């Protein structure tokens, strides 16, 4: 990463996010190793250098219920763990955050549940994050709060630190008014967000939905498209599409060890077979079941053709397994994989290869290099960084991106093959088109995708947000 100094160099910055930027790792071999390891991902690598320069702190949860670790330093940054009890894990995290807000904010593709006990816990836990932030904050310092788990933190913090610069960024979509209106606590959530000076969204759509809701349900006054007035303060609402560390992925794509690993993958799967790759957290918003259906449709159409059958590799990263809707989509996906492989497989050659595990960035990059086509087909997604990582890794300039219109990324990556994931036949057709696209078209499209992604990396994203916040 490259160090940045947006806004006022040296002025303290505190980041508040549900999770800390580290996780506890224990390995048995080689030799017993354990300790805090920096989490992968663009957000963490963009913010750590800024925090280091601005004597910052990061407030978040370690990922385990019960007694929180004492504050500690990690790579020059003060980490302050927030405690969640086993009950709060259930009510705040699995409940209100991920079984109320998550489905509601993703177009209600699953029924959001509204429960008072979940809400009460959400309020308590948000207060705790705000208290912890207030404790770390120097007068006139800056706080950047992240994501849907912490929407009440800006106002709770404003009460304690009236002079703070408070920013909030929502990583997931902000839903349209008709859906947001269902929330019994819609006014309180909006008032929580309106405690910030800058509220950021992935897309213009999210910004617009928020502004409309704030006017309708929280009596905010609209000054212009991006400015609201509320209780005597001005609040900027703006879109800041997040990105990735482009250079880091490009470097992985050029790394000889990663390249030889990708050759190995191609050899193992069979050189004559084209590879369609899917990489997602195993979440019902990702449209994995529809993707499988589209692939099955493609196989059915090819039954009597001489074209070699492609292989679909689905890497599904375990996530929120204790929530019933997640257990259910896992079962559905896995039984469907079995069914399709039973029907269209031959001995030793299955049309779908399925992995249920997390993979590290080098292995991921090797898969990106091996894939002829990357299929990103969510029903709704705030941005989707996989869609940006794939082109960034393809330093060879080849490969085809099939991308759902319902991802934030689709607004920028217009040279992908855009699909409607609800239209299974249309998606099957786009897979066909991707598999048979000639090299010239592949290179033209991939070239413009790469240019687009390189033009605004995650460092520029963080700088842009903090500049507005410190203005």
Q: How far is the CB of 282 from ligand G6P (least distance, A)?
A: 11
Q: Return d(Cα 400, Cα 10) in angstroms, integer.
A: 43
What DSSP assignment string belongs to 198-248?
A: EEEESSHHHHHHHHHHHHHHH--EEEETTEEEETTEEEEEEE------HHH
Question: For ligand G6P, which is the closer residue by CB, 115 or 171?
Answer: 171
Q: Could you tell me which residues come within 8 angstroms of residue 436 by beta carbon, excluding any fewer than 6 positions away?
A: none
Q: How far is the CB of 252 from ligand G6P (least distance, A)?
A: 21
Return left, alpha or beta for 251; rule: phi > 0 is left, psi -120 to 50 is alpha, else beta.
alpha
Tell me which residue of 408, 270, 432, 284 sits closest to 351, measured CA to CA: 270
Q: How far is the CB of 164 from ligand G6P (least distance, A)?
A: 22
Q: How many residues bind ligand G6P (CB under 6 A)?
A: 7
Backbone angles phi, psi at 58, to 5 degrees: -125, 125
**Preceding peptide of 440 cis, ω within 30°:** no
Q: How far is the CB of 48 from ligand G6P (least distance, A)?
A: 16
Among positions 121-160, residues that touch ligand G6P (CB under 6 A) are 147
Name the active-site residue from 381, 415, 457, 468.
381
**Residue 172 within binding range of ligand G6P, rule CB under 6 A:** yes
Show the site string, 377-406: x = touches ligand G6P by CB under 6 A, - = not: ------------------------------
Question: For ligand G6P, which is the closer residue by CB, 147 or 191?
Answer: 147
Question: For ligand G6P, which is the closer residue by CB, 43 or 449?
Answer: 43
Interface with ligand G6P (CB under 6 A), residue from 52, 74, 78, 171:
171
Interface with ligand G6P (CB under 6 A), residue from 5, 8, 19, 68:
19
Tell me the C-alpha to C-alpha distance, in Å, between residue 170 and each of 5, 107, 237, 449.
Answer: 22, 15, 11, 24
Question: For ligand G6P, which is the closer residue by CB, 280 or 415?
Answer: 280
Q: How far is the CB of 405 from ligand G6P (least distance, A)?
A: 20
Question: For ligand G6P, which is the closer residue by CB, 187 or 320?
Answer: 320
Q: Which residue is nearest to ligand G6P (CB)?
A: 171
Question: For ligand G6P, which is the closer residue by CB, 93 or 295?
Answer: 93
User: Helix 246-254 crosses helix 256-269 at what angle (to 10 degrees)?
Assistant: 70
Q: In what order do the strands lie in the sheet with 221-224?
A: 72-74, 77-82, 57-61, 13-19, 142-146, 165-169, 198-201, 233-239, 227-230, 221-224
Q: How far is the CB of 106 from ligand G6P (least distance, A)?
A: 10
Which segments of 108-197 are extended strands (E)? 142-146, 165-169
Among positions 315-334, residues that touch ligand G6P (CB under 6 A) are 319-320
Q: How far is the CB of 319 from ligand G6P (least distance, A)?
A: 6
DSSP H/E element including 294: helix 288-302
User: Helix 246-254 crosses helix 361-370 at what angle (to 10 degrees)?
Assistant: 70
- Residue 429 annotated in active site: no
Among positions 200-229, residues that touch ligand G6P (CB under 6 A) are none
- Residue 171 annotated in active site: yes
Question: For ligand G6P, which is the closer residue by CB, 173 or 351?
Answer: 173
Q: How far is the CB of 238 from ligand G6P (least distance, A)?
A: 19
Name the active-site residue from 171, 411, 422, 429.
171
Question: For ligand G6P, which is the closer residue by CB, 222 or 320?
Answer: 320
Q: Return d(Cα 434, Cα 428) in angstroms, integer.
A: 10
351-383: burial string, b at 16+ Cβ within 10 Å, e else: bbbbeeeeeeeeebbbbbbbbbbbbbbbbbbbb
Residue 82 three-state SS: strand
Q: Return d(Cα 123, Cα 303) in angstroms, integer.
A: 56
DSSP H/E element including 281: strand 275-281
**Residue 23 within binding range of ligand G6P, rule CB under 6 A:** no
∠ CA 423-424-428 to the nearest 5 degrees?
120
Tell me which residue of 365, 394, 378, 367 sits closest to 277, measured CA to CA: 367
Catalog residues that contact ligand G6P under the rule CB under 6 A: 18-19, 147, 171-172, 319-320
Catalytic residues: 171, 381
């Amino acid at each position: 990463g490259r160090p940045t100094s947006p806004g006022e160099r040296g002025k303290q910055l505190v980041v508040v996010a549900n999770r800390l930027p580290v996780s506890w790792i224990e390995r048995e071999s080689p030799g017993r190793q354990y300790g805090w390891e920096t989490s992968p991902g663009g957000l963490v690598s963009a913010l750590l250098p800024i925090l280091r320069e601005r004597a910052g702190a990061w407030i978040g949860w370690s990922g385990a219920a019960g007694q929180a670790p004492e504050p500690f330093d990690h790579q020059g940054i003060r980490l302050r763990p927030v405690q969640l009890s086993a009950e709060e894990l259930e009510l705040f995290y699995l409940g209100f955050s991920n079984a109320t807000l998550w489905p509601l904010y993703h177009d209600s593709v699953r029924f959001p549940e509204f429960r008072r006990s979940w809400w009460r816990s959400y309020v308590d836990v948000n207060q705790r994050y705000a208290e912890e932030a207030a404790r770390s904050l120097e007068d006139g310092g800056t706080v950047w709060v992240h994501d849907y788990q912490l929407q009440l933190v800006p106002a709770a913090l404003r009460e304690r630190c009236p002079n703070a610069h408070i920013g909030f960024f929502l990583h997931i979509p902000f839903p349209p008014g008709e859906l947001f209106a269902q929330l019994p606590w819609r006014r309180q959530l909006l008032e929580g967000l309106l405690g910030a000076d800058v509220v950021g969204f992935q897309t213009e759509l999210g910004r617009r939905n928020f502004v409309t809701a704030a006017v309708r349900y929280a009596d905010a006054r609209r000054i212009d498209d991006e400015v609201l007035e509320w209780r005597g303060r001005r609040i900027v609402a703006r879109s800041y599409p997040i990105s990735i560390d482009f250079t880091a992925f490009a470097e992985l794509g050029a790394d000889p060890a990663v390249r030889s690993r990708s050759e190995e993958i191609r050899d193992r799967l069979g050189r004559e077979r084209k590879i369609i790759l899917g990489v997602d957290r195993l979440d019902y918003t990702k449209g994995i079941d529809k993707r499988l259906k589209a692939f099955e449709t493609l196989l059915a159409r090819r039954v009597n053709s001489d074209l070699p059958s492609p292989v679909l590799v689905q890497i599904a990263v375990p996530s929120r397994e204790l929530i019933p809707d997640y257990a259910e989509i896992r079962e559905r996906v896995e039984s469907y994989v079995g069914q399709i492989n039973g029907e269209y497989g031959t001995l030793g050659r299955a049309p779908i290869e399925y992995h249920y595990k997390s993979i590290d960035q080098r292995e991921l990059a090797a898969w990106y290099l091996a894939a002829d086509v990357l299929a990103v087909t969510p029903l709704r997604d705030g941005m989707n960084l996989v869609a940006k990582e794939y082109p960034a890794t393809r330093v060879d300039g080849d490969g085809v991106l099939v991308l759902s219109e319902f991802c934030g990324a689709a607004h920028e990556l217009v040279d992908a093959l855009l699909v409607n994931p609800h239209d299974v036949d249309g998606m099957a057709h786009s897979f066909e088109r991707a598999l048979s696209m000639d090299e010239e078209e592949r290179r033209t499209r991939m070239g413009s995708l790469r240019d687009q992604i390189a033009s605004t990396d995650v460092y520029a994203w963080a700088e842009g947000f903090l500049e507005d916040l410190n203005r």
